[in-house]
């Protein structure tokens, strides 16, 4: 029982990180109509921007957080303005190819600047908090709290603000949204701001949970896409549910499966979702039309 609860805590932490990435992928997928393959590497960039501040100025990670977010947003908006915007006239799949290239460029840049070695924000050992036989790392509590806070803020943004409402409208039906006079450029800009903010947060949380390395985000991409598909494309709340499902199942699977097959669990969940219910838990948009 203790082992189960312990794995459940790891699952919630991992699921939260995956959810933050999946919300962004899901939003970009529904508004710009392409699978953004550079999302994992955007997380990596965010994590390393925070590392630069932590190492360079000796500030704690939570202090570096807003600056890393700002940097990540600039990177995402910059990539959209220089590449994706020009390619939007062509087929969405060209954007997909371009984003794979962007993923490799971002990862190569991180590799070039910070080198291939792993890094951590904080050296030394922090003692876990004990509840009976359960041990909880303080970092994990911060990650869970941060994830909850970001999700609540996102919820308020999507439900209460005008931009948030236009965004949901565009995700539901882009043509209808456009004829009702929604400013698409503005919605796209906000999509990148939100997606990049959540991606940087996920990257930093991942760095706190494990360690930083140039391929950290890329390796999470499969889990993120699985979560977005399981939750339903264009459904931010579905993405959270999908992320939690993928995260918790992956961690619990280590009780019976060899941990080296953990990434395969996310894939298995995604294949099941595609076979049984391709629209996802929350009944998202099924992207069937091929051009």
Partner 1 sequence: MDPLLVYAVFFLTLVGIYALMVLGLNVQWGFAGLFNIGIAAFFSVGAYTSAILTRPESHEHLGGFALPLAVAWTSAMVTAGILALLVGLITLRLREDYLAIASIGIAEIVRLVLKNEEWLTNGVRGIGGIVHPFADFSRGTRELAFLVLVLGLVAIAYLALERARQSPWGRALRAVRESEVSAMAAGKSAMLFRLQAFTVGSMIMGLSGAVYAHFIGFISPEAFDPMYATFLIWVMLIVGGSGNNRGAILGALAIWVVWSGTEYLTNLLPADMVTRASALRMLLVGLLLQVVLLTRPQGLLPEERFVNRRLARRETPKTKTGNG
- For strand 129-131 and strand 134-136, is the pairing parallel, antiparallel, or unpaired? antiparallel
3 state SS of 125 = coil
x/- mask, partner 1, residues 186-225, rule CB under 8 A, reads ----------------------------x---x--xx--x
What is the Cα–Cα distance from 289 to 33, expressed in whole angstroms? 11
For 175, counting Cβ atoms within 10 Å of its Cβ (0-12 exposed, 13-18 middle, 19+ buried), the class is exposed
What is the Cα–Cα distance from 189 to 195, expressed in whole angstroms? 10
What is the Cα–Cα distance from 271 to 107, expressed in whole angstroms? 27
Q: Which of 166, 163, 147 is nearest to 244 (CA)?
A: 147
Are 99 and 87 in contact by the 8 Å Cβ rule? The answer is no
What is the Cα–Cα distance from 36 to 99, expressed in whole angstroms? 6
CB atoms within 10 A of CB 107: 20
- Least separation in angstroms between residue 135's CB and partner 1 is 28
Identify which of residues 100 and 119 has a Cβ nearer to partner 1 in the complex.
100
- Least separation in angstroms between residue 40's CB and partner 1 is 11
x/- mask, partner 1, residues 54-93, rule CB under 8 A, reads -----------------------------x--xx--x-xx
Identify which of residues 143 and 273 has a Cβ nearer to partner 1 in the complex.
273
Instruction: Tokens for 59, please give them.
Output: 């500030």
Interface segment toward partner 1; rule CB under 8 A; list 105-113, 133-141, 163-171, 177-185: 105-113
3 state SS of 85 = helix
256 is a site residue for partner 1 (CB under 8 A): no
Identify which of residues 65 and 192 has a Cβ nearer to partner 1 in the complex.
192
Q: Specify the DSSP element, H or E, that contains 232.
A: none
- Binding test (CB under 8 A) with partner 1, winner from 98, 147, 197, 213: 98
257 is a site residue for partner 1 (CB under 8 A): no
105 is a site residue for partner 1 (CB under 8 A): yes
29 is a site residue for partner 1 (CB under 8 A): yes
118 is a site residue for partner 1 (CB under 8 A): no
- Residues forming contacts to partner 1 in the complex (CB under 8 A) are 29, 34-35, 37, 83, 86-87, 90, 92-94, 96-98, 100-102, 104-105, 107-109, 111-112, 115-116, 214, 218, 221-222, 225-226, 229, 258, 260-261, 263-264, 266-267, 270-271, 274-275, 278, 286-291
């Amino acid at each position: 029982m203790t082992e189960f609860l312990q794995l459940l805590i790891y699952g919630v932490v991992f699921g939260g990180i995956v959810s933050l990435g999946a919300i962004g992928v899901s939003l970009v997928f529904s508004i710009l109509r392409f699978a953004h393959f550079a999302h994992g590497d955007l997380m990596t960039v965010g994590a390393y921007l925070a590392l630069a501040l932590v190492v360079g100025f000796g500030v704690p990670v939570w202090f570096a957080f807003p600056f890393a977010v700002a940097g990540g947003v600039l990177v995402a908006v910059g990539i959209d303005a220089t590449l994706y915007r020009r390619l939007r006239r062509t087929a969405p799949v060209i954007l997909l190819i371009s984003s794979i290239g962007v993923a490799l460029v971002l990862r190569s840049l991180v590799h070039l600047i910070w080198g291939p070695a792993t890094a951590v924000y904080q050296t030394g050992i922090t003692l876990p908090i004990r509840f009976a036989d359960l041990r909880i790392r303080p970092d994990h509590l911060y990650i869970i709290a941060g994830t909850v806070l970001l999700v609540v803020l996102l919820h308020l943004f999507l439900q209460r603000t005008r931009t948030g409402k236009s965004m949901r409208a565009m995700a539901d039906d882009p043509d209808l949204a456009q004829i009702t006079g929604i400013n698409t450029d503005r919605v796209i800009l906000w999509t990148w701001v939100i997606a990049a903010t959540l991606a940087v947060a996920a990257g930093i949380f991942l760095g706190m949970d494990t360690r930083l390395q140039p391929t950290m985000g890329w390796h999470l991409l499969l889990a993120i896409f699985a979560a977005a598909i399981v939750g339903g494309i264009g459904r931010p709340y579905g993405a959270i549910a999908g992320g939690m499902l993928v995260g918790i199942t992956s961690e619990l699977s280590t009780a019976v499966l060899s941990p080296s097959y953990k990434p395969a669990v996310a894939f298995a969940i995604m294949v099941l979702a595609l076979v049984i219910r391709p629209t996802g838990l929350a009944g998202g948009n099924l992207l069937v039309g091929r051009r």
